[in-house]
């Protein structure tokens, strides 16, 4: 509880910085969600996607017949048909069934055979695209199944395009078999395993992501502000403690090279109760400090100004 109160007080004391942090976080979130144009343009858009699976089968369906003739090579036929759907007559048949221009239909090979769901294809939202792949088993063997993921401006258009891929591939296989004169008992059969159901998905950074990033940036800046405040407070406390220690005469780096002053204490004065000789004079062997000073300035008797001590004689009378 105390930490919470301290945190709120610190943020309130620095409320102008907190407001600035909020503005910075809002700008970051806005740049993630919108392009810096006037008027701002959203970086995300909604597109429709749909998926369908196409089974490449024999006249005697391998789904119900055991050991159907030619069933062992169906994986290779599925891979070949998936490649033909990306261009040429197969692509034109699909575009015709979808009611679009073949030149405006984008066909893309999947990045890997094990990929089940595709990400939306880059480009304008109205782009119509097909992502084609051959599915594989867990052991890596090719399955006689072609996966098709369609993208369009909305979910309905995407479902229509995915179902058109099945119908267009059926038309292409039937046309080729008819031209080549393949007997009915040796023709490949293609059919959809499901009816495509479209849905709308958001492509690009969503507004939820932008808001989450703005909150994260604001929290990180406030945490950095509180950390700086704690460091500054501890720094001041240590500096005051050092200053107080120096004032008490303690060791400090500035005083480490200064030579200490040596003071010689003065001799204590003579105690009044000290023993003395006769008539109050000091005892034998003791000297009073005042007498020692007087003796230092005394003139020897041989240098007195008396005439006798200097060897002079009185003039004769």
Q: With helix as H, strand as E and coil as C, how does 114-163 read?
A: CCCCCCCCCCCCCCEEEEEEEEECCCCCEEEEEEEEEEECCHHHHHHHHH
pLDDT at 77: 85
pLDDT at 92: 92
Percentage of the chain modeled with pLDDT above 70? 69
Least confident range of 98-107, 114-123, 169-178 = 114-123
Same domain flag for 177 and 59: yes
- The answer as to whether 51 is a domain residue is yes
**Run of H or E including 81:** helix 74-84
**Residue 261 half-sphere exposure toward CB, CA atoms < 13 A:** 2
- The answer as to whether 159 is a domain residue is yes
User: Cα separation of 237 and 7, whole Å?
Assistant: 19
Is-contact 167 99, C-beta < 8 A? no
Domain count of the fold of the chain: 2
- The answer as to whether 247 is a domain residue is no
User: How much helix, strand and coil, in percent to the nearest 5, is found in the chain?
Assistant: 45, 15, 35
Same domain flag for 118 and 229: no
- For the segment 190-211, the average pLDDT, to the nearest whole number, is 87
pLDDT at 311: 45
Among 157, 180, 203, where does a domain finish? 203
> Closest Cα to residue 192, out of 150, 248, 255, 141?
150
Same domain flag for 180 and 151: yes
- For the segment 60-82, the average pLDDT, to the nearest whole number, is 69
- The answer as to whether 71 is a domain residue is yes
Same domain flag for 51 and 187: yes
pLDDT at 252: 53
**Range with the largest mean pLDDT of 52-61, 80-89, 181-190, 215-224:** 215-224
pLDDT at 250: 53
- For the segment 50-79, the average pLDDT, to the nearest whole number, is 73
CA distances from 127 to 83, 102, 103, 124, 153 (A): 21, 12, 12, 6, 7
Same domain flag for 33 and 142: no
Same domain flag for 112 and 137: yes
Output the pTM of the full model. 0.58
Q: Kindly state the tokens that stand for 116.
A: 């089940």
Same domain flag for 172 and 58: yes
pLDDT at 293: 46
CA distances from 79 to 35, 60, 149 (A): 41, 20, 16
Q: Per-residue pLDDT tens for 23-49?
A: 999 999 999 989 888 888 888 888 899
pLDDT at 93: 93
pLDDT at 126: 76
pLDDT at 22: 95
- For the segment 137-159, the average pLDDT, to the nearest whole number, is 88
- Provide the domain limits for residue 6: 2-43+207-235
Instruction: Using the predicted structure, report yes or no on whether residue 165 has a pLDDT greater than 60.
Output: yes
pLDDT at 112: 61
Same domain flag for 111 and 50: yes
- The answer as to whether 306 is a domain residue is no
- For the segment 123-150, the average pLDDT, to the nearest whole number, is 85
Looking at every residue in the chain, the average pLDDT score rounds to: 77
Same domain flag for 180 and 221: no
Measured in whole angstroms, the distance separating CA 276 from the mean position of its chain's CA atoms is 93
Among 180, 203, 226, where does a domain finish? 203
- For the segment 175-197, the average pLDDT, to the nearest whole number, is 86
CA distances from 188 to 65, 165, 299 (A): 15, 17, 149
Antiparallel, parallel or unpaired: β 128-136 and 105-109:
parallel
Same domain flag for 73 and 111: yes
Same domain flag for 50 and 110: yes
Same domain flag for 126 and 213: no
């Amino acid at each position: 509880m105390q930490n919470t109160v301290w945190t709120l007080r610190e943020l309130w004391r620095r409320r102008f910085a907190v407001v600035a942090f909020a503005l910075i976080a809002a700008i970051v979130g806005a740049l993630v969600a919108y392009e810096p144009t006037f008027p701002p343009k959203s970086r995300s858009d909604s597109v429709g996607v749909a998926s369908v699976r196409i089974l490449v089968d024999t006249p005697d369906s391998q789904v119900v017949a055991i050991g159907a003739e030619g069933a062992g090579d169906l994986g290779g036929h599925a891979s070949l048909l998936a490649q033909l759907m990306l261009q040429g007559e197969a692509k034109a048949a699909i575009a015709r069934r979808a009611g679009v221009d073949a030149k405006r239909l984008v066909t893309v090979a999947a990045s890997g055979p094990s990929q089940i769901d595709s990400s939306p294809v880059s480009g304008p939202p109205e782009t119509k695209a097909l992502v084609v792949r051959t599915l594989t088993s867990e052991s890596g063997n090719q399955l006689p199944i072609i996966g098709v993921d369609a993208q369009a401006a909305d979910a309905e258009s995407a479902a229509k395009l995915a179902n058109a891929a099945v119908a267009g591939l059926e038309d292409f296989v039937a046309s080729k078999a008819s031209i080549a004169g393949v007997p009915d008992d040796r023709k490949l059969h293609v059919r959809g395993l499901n009816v495509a159901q479209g849905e709308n998905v958001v492509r690009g950074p969503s507004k939820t992501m932008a808001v989450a990033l703005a909150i994260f940036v604001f929290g990180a800046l406030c945490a950095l502000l509180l950390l700086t405040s704690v460091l500054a407070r501890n720094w001041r406390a240590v500096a005051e403690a050092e200053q107080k220690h120096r004032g008490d005469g303690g060791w400090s780096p500035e005083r480490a090279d200064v030579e200490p002053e040596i003071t010689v204490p003065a001799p204590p004065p003579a105690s009044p109760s000290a023993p003395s000789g006769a008539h109050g004079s000091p005892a034998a062997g003791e000297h009073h400090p005042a007498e020692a000073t007087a003796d230092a300035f005394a003139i020897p008797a041989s240098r007195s100004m008396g005439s006798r001590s200097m060897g002079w004689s009185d003039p004769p009378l």
